[in-house]
Structure 1
Amino acid sequence: MFRKGCFYTSNGYFCGKLAQILENNNRWKCMKKLALSLPLVLTSLFPIYVNALTSEAESTADYAVKTYEAEMLDSLSSLVSYKTVSAEGLTPDTHPEFIGFKHELSQLSQKLGLDYSDHGYVILIGLGNSQKKLGVITHGDVQPANPQLWRGDPFVLDMTSKPGKLIGRGTEDDKGAIVTAMYAMKSIQDKGLKLDRRIELMVYLAEETDWDPLRTFLKNYTPADINITIDAEYPVVTAEKGWSKINFVIPPQELAPMEDKRARLVSFSGGVFSSQVPQQAVAEMSGVSGELQSALKTQGLRQQGMRYRFESDGDALTIFADGKAAHSSTPEDGVNAVTHLAELLSIHNWPRSQAALTQSFIHEMVGLGIYAEQFGEIAYKDNFMGAMTLAPTVIKHTKDGTEVVMNLRRPTGKTPELLDKQTLEALNNWQEKHQTQLTDIDTYWGTPMVMDDAPHLDTLLNVFSHFTGVKDPKPVAIGGSTNSKLFPNALSFGPTMPGVEYTGHTEDEFMTHEQFMLNLKMYTAAFIELAVEQ
């Protein structure tokens, strides 16, 4: 970003002759070399203003909050009300909830004076006509929500049950961000600021389930040369682990003889969707003695963060496990009901069955760890991106057996070929131990992303520092996987604060009212610093 006659760096603004040198000589790399080699000369000759924003950015950010707070809440309430959860066989043009959602976005765009175009899976909402663009990437589809696990209707914005919190599916992921970006653009328009770049908000409608329609759209669409994804966290995300999976089926088993009347594990299941650490799991047993039931209850009390409900009918017993849901990219934030139930049941040697093999696999190959510590040799970590995580997220019964879905987030450091080899070795060793054959084994290793040389990195860090008071913020890596991977020079900027638990894929998803307003300030300022003519 430039001020007239000046060149901006992470250390402030350099003006005069040095600004011309920096601009004309590969300014980003040259700036870093000069700043490192001549710090004393630079600081003595030129004034440095750390965290300085243009007066337009600061004043417009304040204006946005003072002017549009109430309207933003109304708009968020309207967008949350649409159950934009993907459904098999339906598209955004045939799904009634998506049709309604798109109509609401169209009406809001018209009200705010923003242009709107519908491309099926992609909605473009923009301000300005410049050929140069600032891309703002987000999505309007959301994950499923089980009403029984929410305080109220997940698709009714709740602003009262927990004062200060905006509770509803999509408030954090990603409808809150959509509203914030639109009102940031409206505030810039109100102030009559002249845009050097068109600000173009892209709302994709299948981010949670299928990126192929977006890839198809991008074949005939020219994206901006600098992009912001508002679907992650602050200060600025420059690296994302690759979304990965290991799936297989444990087929039906020939049951052990019944003569000894031993307790049997009849069923074992849990989880709802692949990118959520499961909050609930359930196991059904037969032939359970009072002594075994007592032992299971005692063991359950020893597990921190877990609640168990035991329902018995004669010697039949059903255990309902309740943990804590979390986004599967941050399994450390959750308490996985599937892994904890498997650990609870491990106090008994269950006779061979489909359910018993499922429980054994989870207990032996995953345990209570989250970094694939027990899964053969696949565990590893990167110094910046951190360790690979592994979470069993869905265990469900099908006509072919029990399907096991495990979600992994992999950093740089191992190739897909090596991970496949190590995965199959681990699975083969377990199959040999249990004399069984898994079916439908399927793996997918998403590509990690590293974007550490985007030209707007310092600007975003500066905006974050200015409004939060955090000195010298650094880029971060996340386990999540956003659409930024598909765009040039794409950096994720919010909407969640660092060190704060992400609730986007959890039950009772929320964003605080304070964060909602802070995001409006930071997005407004960032758009101005990157897109308004200085």
Structure 2
Amino acid sequence: MIYYKIKSRFLYVVLLIGGKNMDFNNIINGMKNDIIKYTQELIRIKSVETEPLTNAPFGSGVNDALMYMLNLASSFGFKTKNIDGHIGYAEFGDGNDIAAVIGHLDVVPEGDGWLYPPYEGVCVDNKIYGRGAIDDKGPLIAALCGLKAVKDSGAQLGKRVRIIFGTDEESGWKDIPYYTNNEALPCCGFTPDGAFPVINAEKGSINIVFKKNILRKSKGMISIKSLTGGNALNIVPNFCTCCLGLKDMAKRMLKDTLGLYCESNKINMSIREDGDDVFITSHGVSCHSSIPENGVNAISQLIVFLSQFNLGQNDVSDFIKFIAKYIGYDCMGKALNINFSDDISGNLTVNLGRIYIDDENASAAINIRYPVKAKYEDIFGRILNIADENKIEISQLSYRKPLYIEKDSKIVSSLLDAYREVTGKEGYTISIGGQTYAKAFDNVLAFGPVFPGRDDLAHMPDEYIQIDDLINCAKIYSKAIYELAK
């Protein structure tokens, strides 16, 4: 008799804990309007990196976003910490080990081509529009509210949970050392900065700049006075403009040639005169640099066009022809002899993200995403050889190694369980060319927010997140947090 009483009490406890776990969804449904409001308010903070200020190393906008999240987390009853304005976190629970969610509050510049205001968080057709809606403000709100649902449910956890608020993911990860050098590291976790079901492989990344000093000046019928294009290396550039000096007889030829070229190649470039100068602007379509084939590179369009002209024997001409020949429209690095591929993460990609030419210097920078089985030394060495042969200087701006965790690992199965329980669909692993904060920690993977079949609008005009997806993210993240921290 006593045995059965103990057994029934045990079953009651199990059922109670399980029931509270299942209540996450109901709690989040009750928070729906608040989750939408928090996401809109965060989007309204323009958190593009600017000049550093006291206690705001990445500028006032990024700091305002960090303070917003810390204050919101504090209002939820979580412990919070601001680490010198570089990074912060919210914490819930007890225990020696930490399960973490790592996201970022900084965003890339908005660029052009928006139908909806990029920093208002307007809701249209069940979508929240704005820079950062999908990358990574909406998902970070979903994760924080997911943790609140776990807290409010009364579910018992065996680990502490930290929601870490990064501030420099888009510009160089200068925030991460302030956490890793000063705080306890998580034993497991995820970053809501990729795609569902779960990402277990991320390509490596190399940023390289090509340079040439302009010593031999142009004296031909067509001279390039200046050329500039692109903002960030992780964005396919949607603009590039050059200023040309032309002899009178060359102006009409250039106009006629440009018109025919654009028509036959179905590209968008415009031309205007200003005194003796002629300006050509190339118009492209932005997208994330990890999928350059989905955009239209404005720099490539203009460089390839200019390379067809006789620009004379000078350093600007040599540099433009080098970039056109070895990069141009080639998104897979064939001309640079770096077109590696593997069965886990696919093809290497190249994005010509920035260029600048004036009377003294020429520079162009590329972002390379390389497969997990490829070697950094092979890639950089091959590019260095080609650059040396053409008397072009190169230097590495940054480098991050690939990430790969086996499909049958515990963290993969835990995250897929959370995905399956909320969506009712079987999960699977995927690889990406993008890079996330998962690379900065052991046993951390990118997990959402983009659902299968949805477009990834990160870094694009009219970026948005579906409201239904935002709420489902919060439900999945609450379950994942519980699974990792129980």
TM-score (norm 1): 0.80
Do residues 379 (structure 1) and 339 (structure 2) align? Answer: yes
Pair 1:135-2:100 in alignment: yes
- Residue deviations 1:186-218 (CA, integer Å, cap 9, x gap): 222222222232221011222222334422431
1:354–1:401 Cα contact (<8 Å) kept: no
1:218 lines up with 2:159 in the alignment: no
* Partner secondary structure for residue 410 of structure 2: coil
1:102 and 1:328 map into 2 onto residues whose CA distance is 26
Secondary structure class of the residue paired with 2:209: strand
Q: Deviations over 1:455-497 (max 9, x none)?
A: 22112123323444543x3211111121211212111101112
Aligned with 2:299: secondary structure? helix
Please report how far the alpha carbon of residue 397 of structure 1 lies from its aligned counterpart in structure 2 after TM superposition: 3.6
Q: Is 2:43 the counterpart of 1:80? A: yes
For residues 154 and 398 of structure 1, do their structure 2 counterparts lie closer, same or farther at Cα, with a shift above 3 Å needed?
A: farther
Amino acid at match of 1:268: L
Distance 1:526 1:199 in 2: 11
Q: Say whether residues 1:327 and 2:288 are aligned partners.
A: yes
Distance 1:502 1:355 in 2: 37
Q: What is the Cα deviation at residue 322 of structure 1?
A: 1.3
User: Compared with structure 1, are the counterparts of its residues 257 and 321 closer, same or farther at alpha carbon in structure 2 (3 Å cutoff)?
Assistant: closer
Given that residues 420 and 443 in structure 1 are in contact (C-alpha distance below 8 angstroms), is that contact kept between their aligned partners in structure 2? no
CA displacement, residues 58-111 of structure 1 (integer Å, 9 cap, x when unaligned): 4422430x2112111211122122222223444753533334323322321232
- Displacement, 1:289? 3.5
- Alpha carbons of 1:490 and 1:398: their partners in 2 closer, same or farther (altered >3 Å)? farther
Distance 1:297 1:181 in 2: 51
| Correspondence list, 1:14-413, <5 A | 56-64=20-28, 66-90=29-53, 93=56, 95-120=59-84, 121-146=86-111, 148-160=112-124, 163-258=125-220, 262-285=221-244, 286-287=246-247, 288-304=250-266, 306-313=267-274, 316-375=277-336, 377-397=337-357, 400-413=360-373
Which residue does 1:522 correspond to in 2? 476
Matched residue of 1:170: which SS? coil
Paired residues in the alignment total 464
Instruction: Tell me: CA distance 1:318–1:212, structure 2 relative to 1, closer, same or farther (3 Å).
Output: closer
User: Percent of pairs identical after alignment?
Assistant: 24
Report the Cα offset of residue 113 of structure 1. Answer: 2.1
Change (3 A) 1:256 1:193: closer
Structure 2 partner of 1:24 = none
- Structure 1 counterpart of 2:473, which letter? N
CA contact (8 A) 1:307 1:322 kept: yes
One-letter amino acid matched to 2:188: I
Counterpart for residue 411 of structure 2: 456
Cα deviation code 1:483-521 (max 9, x no counterpart): 211212111101112454422222332222222122122
User: Conserved in 1, the CA contact under 8 Å of 2:50 and 2:60?
Assistant: no
Aligned mates of 1:135, 1:400 — CA distance in 2: 48
- After superposition, the C-alpha distances for 1:296-331 in whole angstroms (9 at most, x for unaligned) are 112212335x42222235774322111111111121
2:217·2:316 contact (CA, 8 Å) conserved in 1? no
Partner of 1:424: 384
Tell me the secondary structure at the aligned position of residue 276 of structure 1: coil
Distance 1:398 1:350, change over 3 A: closer
**Counterpart in the other structure of 1:475:** 429
Stretches of structure 1 that go unaligned for 5 or more consecutive residues are 1-52, 432-436
1:250-283: CA deviation from partner (whole Å, max 9, x where unpaired): 221423444xxx3333333210111111011112
Distance 1:182 1:380, change over 3 A: same
Shift of the 355–502 alpha-carbon distance from structure 1 to 2, 3 Å rule, reads farther
- 1:491-506 residue pairs with structure 2 within 5 A? 491-498=445-452, 500-506=454-460
3-state DSSP of counterpart to 1:83: coil
Secondary structure at 1:378 match in 2: coil
Please tell me whether the aligned partners of residues 253 and 352 of structure 1 are also in contact (alpha carbons under 8 angstroms).
Answer: no
The residue identity in structure 2 corresponding to 1:418 is D
Contact 2:192 2:446 in 1 (8 A): yes
Closer, same or farther in 2 for the Cα pair 1:295/1:469, shift >3 Å?
farther
> CA 1:111/1:350 → structure 2, altered by over 3 Å: closer, same or farther?
same
Gaps of 5+ in 2: 1-16
Once superposed, what is the RMSD of the aligned Cα atoms?
A: 2.5
| Letter aligned with residue 102 of structure 1 | L
Amino acid at match of 1:387: N
Q: CA deviation at 1:444?
A: 4.5
**CA-to-partner distance for each residue in 1:127-180, whole Å, 9 max, x for gaps?**
22233332111111222223x5433542221223xx233221211121112211
The amino acid across from 1:72 in the alignment is I
Select between 476-485 and 312-321 the one with higher mean Cα deviation.
312-321
Contact 1:266 1:353 in 2 (8 A): no
* Cα 1:175–1:308 shift into 2, 3 Å: same
Alpha-carbon distance between aligned partners in 1 of 2:429 and 2:93, rounded to the nearest angstrom: 30
Secondary structure, counterpart of 1:327 in structure 2: coil
Q: Which amino acid aligns with 2:80?
A: Y
Distance change (3 Å), C-alpha of 1:75 and 1:155: same
- From 425, 434, 438, the equivalent of 1:484 is 438
Conserved 8 A contact 1:276-1:328: yes
Distance 2:108 2:55 in 1: 15
For the 8 Å contact 1:454–1:490, the answer to whether it is kept is no
Q: 1:381–1:411: 8 Å Cα contact kept in structure 2?
A: yes
Is the contact between residue 457 and residue 464 of structure 2 (CA under 8 Å) also seen in structure 1?
Answer: yes
State the 1:372 CA deviation: 0.5
Question: How far apart are residue 378 of structure 1 and its match?
Answer: 2.0
Instruction: Give the letter aligned to residue 111 of structure 1.
Output: S
Matched-pair contact (CA < 8 Å) for 2:21–2:155: no
Helix, strand or coil at the partner of 2:123: coil
- Name the CA distance, whole Å, in 1 between partners of 2:447 and 2:395: 37
